[in-house]
Amino acid sequence: MQPSDVPYPTDAERRPLAEDCRRCPELVSSRSCISWGNGPTDASVVVVGEAPAAGDPDAERWRGGNLTGMAYTSRASGRKVRALVADAGYAGDAYYTNAVKCHPPGNRDPTAAERANCRPWLHEDLEVVDPDAVVPTGKHATASVFALADRALDGFLDTVLDPVETPFGRVVPVLHPSYEEVWRSRLGYDRAGYVAALSDALDPDSR
């Protein structure tokens, strides 16, 4: 699937966990809105992003989670990740959320404290959906997901596409969409091979 062909999620798929959250003062002052999870709550897979970027107010629909209030709804990263998950066999069967649900100022990385403050929301996402597998995208999202399983992240690239069984499902980290093209080939994959490896890692019958 081409990213341009990815269907945009409906407002009915958005699942706010609270009307407001003020645990991180810098994020409260930086965000336009909270970027909550979206998708079917009986999905087999939960995709966990890092945090919403500032977003593109000039985009027609795919303006990004900071402006839409829904994770992974940007023209670039959002559509790219959704296309990857669809091609791996989970079109319409994935729930999208973020480890940190508010836009960090200047598009900086979320801090460890911000990730910890937001972790209860992520835990609630996982409890509600109860997926078979969790796909964190990038280092910070993987660190947050691992922390919920009381695991430390020691060398992110070594974890990519390497399934880890946890109490809340099989965790299969993937590359952050912004760096996928750079690192994918260094890991020995073209896109077709990367998609196939993700599909195999998510399928419990493939191992």
Q: What ranges do the domains of the chain cover? A: 34-206
* 27-47 pLDDT tens trace: 999 999 999 999 999 999 999
pLDDT at residue number 204: 73
pLDDT at residue number 206: 58
Is 168 in a helix, a strand, or coil? coil
Taking phi first (over 0 means left), then psi (-120 to 50 degrees means alpha), and beta for anything else, what does residue 13 get?
A: alpha
The domain made up of 34-206 has a fold known as Uracil-DNA Glycosylase, subunit E (3.40.470)
pLDDT at residue number 98: 98
Is 166 in a helix, a strand, or coil? strand
For the chain, which residues score pLDDT lower than 50?
Answer: none
pLDDT at residue number 129: 97
Angle at 108 between CA 73 and CA 194, to 5 degrees: 55
Q: Can you tell me the distance from the alpha carbon of 2 to that of 24, in angstroms, rounded to the nearest whole number? A: 36
pTM, 2 dp: 0.96
* 80-105 pLDDT tens trace: 999 999 999 999 999 999 999 999 99
Whether the CB-CB separation of 118 and 101 falls below 8 Å is answered with: yes
